[in-house]
């Protein structure tokens, strides 16, 4: 028996470039290529691209009546079932375009929300996506369904059974959605409280937090898998993984960290998603170090890096120490690799440069923790209890003295320095 082939939406992509739009709002060949990749991620197939230059957007149709007719003809010739705009559309424009084209119309924001809805797996991720969807839907209710135009309460006119409290169905739906939004926000606040408790526990244990950030498909999941064996699916698709994954990573013999990936950033990221994902992205604010993973094999890597850094500033995480990690160096174009302070080139896939990355992390987070051997006199055995509480004791041998191998933070080192083998006082900065 032959397998049933999955039916895929055939999509025509439309983009507008205009001098009156902000640079980040305009469409160009690069943004359209990215939009096509997003369509592929969503399970659709791009059958045509229409890119228009226009002095200003048309208030009613965005691209003008003539161009709408051209897109309609394009849809008929290709059998397209959907048109997706690279630009944001107003609710009225989306309504008019749907009527004129006779197919479903989405904008880039709606497409990204659909992908997020498909990909979110955890309860937290689903809550975040649902909140963003309702925030996106609320201003677009008008005219979406004809029944919304019907008056639920009238002054005597209208069908039997329609006389109600005097509010339109549209208003009823708006109230329902606002209630849903309020409930989702409450649920996400609970998520934040749980995260805060977990964070306080980590801080008490003095375990540094490293957050991986970067443009979507830059290789964040691949890097986390290589470092920790997390087993996250790492496919060559935009937004393939959305939910945060955290793992314990041994960086060196004196440093363990909690390393977390984050949702991939993208140009024209819907502001609803930035808001909705604060519960995930707020982890950045409390991180001790950011790893900004950059796909250096992408010709647009500089623009992508700038977008990520802009969003980091928006999230008020730009004061956190950051390492630029230039990934996919095995696929990069020939020529000199990016270099400089706080940069490292790697291939998360092959492992090239990863030891150098770990060394950089260790250097950035070095707070004076040292592995030492102590020889405690038996009358100082009480110090051993403190070592078990405040340090990481690796071995204890009872001989002429109590011989202890331990990894100690600076505070503990100061308390037991008289018993440390070959102890040397750390040099002050001015002595270096």
Tens of pLDDT, residues 69-127: 999 999 999 999 999 999 989 888 988 999 999 999 999 988 888 888 887 777 777 88
Q: Among the three residues 365, 381, 405, which one is the final residue of a domain in this structure?
A: 365
Give just the sign of the alpha carbon dihedral 104, 35, 188, 312: negative
Given a contact cutoff of 8 angstroms between Cβ atoms, the answer to whether 84 and 107 are in contact is yes
Task: Examine the domain organization and report whether 355 and 383 are in the same domain.
Answer: no
The residue range of the domain holding 48 is 10-115
**Are 360 and 374 part of one and the same domain?**
no
- Note whether 341 and 379 are same-domain residues: no
Answer whether residue 96 is part of any domain: yes
Helices (H) and strands (E) in the chain, counts: 13, 13
- What are the start-end ranges of the E strands in 206-254? 209-214, 246-252
pLDDT digits (tens, 9 = 90+) for 223-277: 998 998 877 766 666 666 566 678 889 888 888 888 888 878 888 777 777 766 6
Claim to verify: residue 108 and residue 54 sit in the same structural domain: yes
pTM of the predicted structure, to 2 decimals = 0.74
Q: Which residues contact 153 (CB under 8 A, 6 or more apart)?
A: 162, 163, 164, 165, 166, 167
DSSP 157: -
For 83, residues 6+ apart whose C-beta sits below 8 A from its C-beta are 11, 12, 13, 14, 71, 75, 97, 101, 103, 104, 105, 106
Q: Judge whether residue 165 has pLDDT over 60.
A: no
261 located within any domain: yes
Task: From 178, 186, 209, select the one nearest 288 (Cα to Cα).
Answer: 209
* Residues 414-424: tens digit of each pLDDT: 889 999 998 88
Residue 195 lies in a domain: no
Residue 403 Ramachandran class (φ > 0 left, ψ -120 to 50 alpha, else beta):
beta
Q: Does the pLDDT of residue 355 top 90, yes or no? A: yes
From CA 432, how far away is CA 427, in angstroms rounded? 7
Question: What residues contact residue 249 under an 8 Å CB cut-off, 6+ apart?
Answer: 210, 227, 228, 256, 257, 258, 259
pLDDT tens track for 180-213: 888 888 888 887 787 777 666 655 556 788 999 9
The H or E element spanning position 136 is: helix 123-137
| Residues 354/400, Cβ–Cβ less than 8 Å | no
Q: Are residues 288 and 262 in the same domain?
A: yes
**Residue 421 lies inside a defined structural domain of this protein:** yes
Which pLDDT belongs to residue 389? 87
Residue 283 sits in the same domain as residue 407: no
Strands in 296-423 per DSSP E: 322-327, 343-345, 370-376, 392-398, 402-408
Count of the separate structural domains present in the chain:
3
Asked if residues 365 and 358 have their Cβ atoms less than 8 Å apart, the reply is no
Q: Which of 344, 365, 386 is the last residue before a domain boundary?
A: 365
Residue 168 lies in a domain: no
Residue bearing tokens 């509010």:
167
Same domain, 380 and 343: no
Domain closes at, from 365, 391, 409: 365
Q: Checking phi first, is residue 14 left (phi over 0); if not, alpha (psi -120 to 50) or beta?
A: beta
Residue 228 sits in a domain whose CATH number is 3.40.50.300
């Amino acid at each position: 028996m032959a397998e049933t082939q999955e039916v895929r939406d055939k999509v025509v992509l439309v983009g507008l470039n205009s001098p009156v739009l902000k640079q980040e709002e305009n469409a160009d060949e690069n943004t359209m290529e990215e939009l096509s990749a997003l369509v592929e991620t969503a399970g659709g197939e791009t059958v045509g691209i229409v890119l228009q230059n226009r002095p200003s957007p048309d208030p009613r149709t965005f691209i003008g009546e003539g161009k709408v007719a051209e897109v309609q003809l394009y849809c008929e010739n290709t059998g397209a079932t959907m048109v997706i705009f690279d630009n944001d559309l107003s609710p009225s424009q989306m309504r008019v375009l749907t009527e004129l084209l006779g197919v479903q119309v989405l904008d880039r924001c709606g497409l990204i929300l659909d992908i997020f809805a498909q990909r979110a797996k955890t309860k937290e991720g689903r809550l975040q996506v649902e909140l963003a969807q309702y925030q996106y839907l609320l201003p677009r209710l008008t005219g979406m369904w004809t029944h919304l135009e019907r008056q639920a309460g009238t002054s005597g006119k209208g069908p039997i059974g329609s006389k109600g409290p005097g509010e339109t169905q549209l208003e009823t739906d708006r109230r329902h959605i606002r209630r849903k939004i309020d409930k989702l926000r409450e649920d996400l606040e609970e998520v934040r409280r749980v995260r805060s408790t977990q964070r306080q526990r980590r801080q008490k244990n003095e375990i540094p937090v490293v957050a991986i950030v970067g443009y979507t498909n830059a290789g964040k999941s691949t890097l986390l898998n290589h470092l920790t064996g997390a087993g996250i699916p790492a496919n060559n698709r935009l937004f393939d993984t959305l939910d945060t994954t955290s793992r314990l990573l041994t960086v060196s013999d004196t440093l363990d960290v909690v390393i977390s990936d984050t949702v991939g950033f993208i140009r024209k990221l819907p502001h609803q998603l930035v808001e909705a994902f604060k519960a995930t992205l707020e982890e950045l604010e409390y991180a001790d170090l950011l790893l900004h993973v950059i796909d250096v094999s992408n010709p647009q890597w500089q623009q992508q890096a700038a977008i990520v850094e802009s969003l980091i500033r928006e999230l008020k995480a730009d004061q956190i120490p950051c390492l630029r990690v230039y990934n996919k160096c095995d696929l990069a174009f020939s020529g000199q690799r990016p270099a400089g302070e706080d940069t490292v080139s790697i291939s998360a896939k092959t492992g090239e440069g990863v030891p150098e990355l770990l060394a950089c992390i260790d250097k950035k987070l070095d707070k004076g923790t040292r592995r030492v051997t102590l020889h405690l006199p038996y009358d100082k055995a009480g110090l051993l209890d403190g070592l078990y509480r405040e340090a990481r004791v690796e071995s204890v041998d009872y001989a002429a003295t109590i011989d202890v191998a331990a990894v100690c933070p600076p505070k503990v080192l100061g308390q037991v320095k008289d018993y440390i083998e070959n102890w040397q006082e750390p040099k002050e900065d001015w002595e270096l």
